[in-house]
Structures are given as C-alpha cells and as structure tokens.
Structure 1
Amino acid sequence: MAVTTAAAVRRLCATGEVRSALAVLARGAKSCDTVLDVAACTALVHGWCRMGDMVEARRVFDVMPAPRRGPNEVTYTALIHGYFVHGHREMGLTLFEEMRRGGVEPNLYTYNCLIGEWCRTGEFERAWLLFDEMPVKGVARNVVSYNTLIAGLCRHGKLKDAIQLLEAMRKEGIRPSMVTFNLLVDGYGKAGKMSNALHFFNQMKASGFPPSAVTYNALIAGAFEMLSEMEKTGLEVDVQSYGVLLHALCMEGKMMEARKLFQSMD
C-alpha cells in the first residue's frame, strides 16, 4: 500500500482541505497509487461531512471494500454525526441500525452522538437506553456522555433528573467539568430558580473552575427572568435578588445595565 498517499489524504482532510486531498488521490491514480487504508477513507468521509457534502461522504463510504478495508466504527460515527448535523436525521438513524446489523460495535463517540440526538428531540427513553447500555457493552462513559444527557434534561426542564444524573456521575468517579456546572446554572436560571443556580455557581468556584462569560450570562438571564416573574405576581423583590443580578452584570462589564438596575431599586 502507498503509505505516502494515505498519510497525505489523512493530513489534508484533518485540516479541512478535502479538495486538495482529492488532488493527491488523482496524482496517485496516475502512478497506480490508489489503495487507501481505512483511516484515509474515514478522513475523506469526515472531511466531506465537515463541508456539508453528504452525497460525496456517502459515496466514499459505499466504495470502501469490506471486510479488510471496510468502514469501521470511526467511519460509521463520522457519517452518522454528519447526517445529524446537516439535518438528515433519519439517514443517520438508519445508518446506526445498519452498523449494528453489520456487526460493527458502537464506540464511545457513537453512543455520545446518538444520545445527543435523542436528547435534542426530547426522546429521553431512547437516550437512557443507550446511556445504560454503554457499560454493559464495555464502553466506559466519560464526562461528555454525562454532559450530553444533562444538557438535554436541563433544556427540557427535567432538572430533578439532571441532579440525579450529576450524583450518579460523581459516584462513577467522573469529575463534573465547567460545562457541567454551566448547564446546571443555565437550566435553573431559565427556570427562575436562582437559589439553585447560585448553588451550582458556588460549587463551580469551589471546584476550581473560574466562572466564564457563559456562566455570568446564564445568571443574568435567569435573574432577569426571576425579577420579571416576581414583579408580575406582585412579590417584593428583596435586596439579595437584586444583588445577584448586580454582581453578574458587573462581572460581565455591563455597567450601564447595572447602574439602571441599581437606580430602579429606589
């Protein structure tokens, strides 16, 4: 096999230069140097997916010779993910079923990809089935697996389930990341439960993660939502509630908004 051609294709596809990779293939064809390994073909599939050309991605996938140089779990995952990203959901789900029927076992990234898609559409029963299947199949879940499911639960208002999953995550020995905390701050903020949002804001800092712009923006949005609801229902907004929002605004450099809010407290 021509190692140089395969390596060049992989390198070019990794940087998004798919058309340059095709030019390398054309030159290789003139010298009968056209045999690519699975990694090079997978790189082409991934490259076409990144460019949004799913027809070409599938064409490369379909011409990979089985079994020795046929698609592997990485190839399948690249194409499934591409289908999901570019709005071809049913094709992605169908390919996943083909993958299983063909005896190709999903890897960590396949599971995370499918869980994310089921969460996106609120089909949590299917998401949980895959999540629970991972250790049974010998696939170790990682922080992305948990964050993907937590994100979906928070987005659909299933905050109690998200907290239970956080506890399960810790029991499994997986440390929550900054993304984990941001998801929970945002989820509780949007639900108007600022005491819970602040709890995870403080947990984030205690865990050694400096709050980011994403964190503060989530707090700001949540605090405004809370203040609006309190005013609508005739509840008096206490100083602590205002203080939360003022702090978040100042940390984000939104001094004009902070000043207006401060003046409205009179």
Structure 2
Amino acid sequence: MASVTLPVAARAAAPITPSGAIAKRLLSLVVVHGILLAGAIFMLLPFVWMLITSIKPPAEIFTAQISLWPKQFYGVENYSFALSQAPLLRFALNGVILCAGILVVQLLVAIPCAYALAKLRFPGRNLLFVLVLLGLCIPVQVPAMPLYIALAELGLLNTYFAMMVPFFLSVFAIFLFRQFFRSFPDDIIHAARLDGMSEFEIVWRIVTPSAWPAIAAFSVFSAVAHWNDLYWPLIVISDAKLAPPPLGMMFFADAETGSNYGALTAAATVLTAPLVIAFLIARRRFIDGITMTGVK
C-alpha cells in the first residue's frame, strides 16, 4: 500500500506536541531570565567593585592583577580614615534634610494640582495639562541664574532653603499623580460630596490614602535625584557644614586624599548606604506605583 505524504501546509498546521510546547516555554524563560540576570550584573557590578575597593589596601588597588576579594583586609583603616578626615555623617544628614524637605513640599503642591487636573472640570484644564507636560522639558539649569541672583539679594545663600527652593514644584509629580488619580472611582468622590465633604477633605482623606503606591514611587525618584544632585548645591553652598553627599565627596576628594581610592570608595559607600536602604524598604511600594500608574 502506497504511503500518503501530507502537504507542506498540512504539516505546518499540525498541532504542537505538549513536549514541544514545554521546551519552547523553557527556552523563552531561560532567554528572558538570562537577559534580566545580565542586566542585574551590569547594574550591580559598580557597587560590588566599590565595596571591594573600600576594603583593599592601596598596594592591591593599583596592582595589575584583578582579584575580587582582597588578600589583606584593609576596611578598618579605610573607613576610619574616611570618617576622621571628613564629616561624612553630617553630609548624610544634610542629604536626609534636603530630600525630606523637598519631598514634603512637592507632595503638598503636586497632589492637589494632580487631583484638580484629573477629577475637576474647569475651562482650560487640558491646556493647563499641556503646560505641565511642557514643564518637563525645562531643566533646572534654565532658571539657575535668576534664582541665584534672587537668593543672593535676599541673603539666603548657604542655607537649606537655597538648595530646596528650585525643586518645590515638580511637574513630574503632577503628571504621575494625575495619571494615578484618573483611575480613582468617580462614584466614591460623588458620594463624599453628597455627604458634605469639601474638595480639600476629599483630596487628603479619601484620594491620597489610596495613592500610597504612587507616592512611594515618586518618593524614590525624588530622593535619588536630589541625593545625587551636585549642580545646584555647588552654586549656592560654600559652607562644608551644609554640603549634601555629592558636594561633601567633592570636598573630601582634595589633593591630599585624591589618590587614596580605598578611603574614597569607603566614603562613597557610607554616603550611598542610606539611599540603598531606603530603596530596599520602599521597593514593593515603588514597583506597585510604577505598575499601577496610568491604569484606567
């Protein structure tokens, strides 16, 4: 009996066997996780190298051989030198004060603005939102000169306020919260209005408590941006006692300690640790805020 050969189209349309589907799924998982693992290594490698360098003696830092773990533990000397030569804890405290002050004012301003753009009906609302989006295109360097002149005339240079004032209004926060508030049910707001609640009470007692994921996500963005900011503090601060972490590192890396990379990386580790710890604490809220923002 002659064998029957299936057409090419019929063979192509044949269903995939369960073993083939499992193999395809495993291959896709291996590829995806491999890419994620490579990205994680690429992002974490500078931090690992900083930690390892901070516990190495100078002779091993400049050697031609690359070794991950030091042959001689020199961490006590490097960290003691860094903490004794510069007020690193004071720099970290300045960073906490700076980031916390900016974040509080940003939230107090951005949340009502975002609620108005998302839930209130008034003429020119869409135009105002377009202006908010255009504000994202203006860097801090543009108003730097008039702000510096105004602060100098008022005698406010070398103050925490001088470092904070350009960032009190965050158009990114307004945009982020507006996208989040759009998904808030209108029926709850209407019910609150029928109960006699004012718009101010609705914003802070009903809408804002539901926005903690978005607030946590923005808090991470804001803290990272202003903790690492060097441009504006370098302009308005000349007193080392008020220096935030990046400016404090610049004061520390002078001609005397500029070649001591062990002490420099130890100082960088001390000043980076609070930011990493804060992110680890808020990472779940941060991920929720990123994934939930903009979902209608």
Which bin holds the TM-score, normalised by the shorter protein? under 0.3
Q: How does the TM-score come out when normalised to structure 1?
A: 0.22
Q: How does the TM-score come out when normalised to structure 2?
A: 0.20
Q: Which has the larger radius of gyration?
A: 2
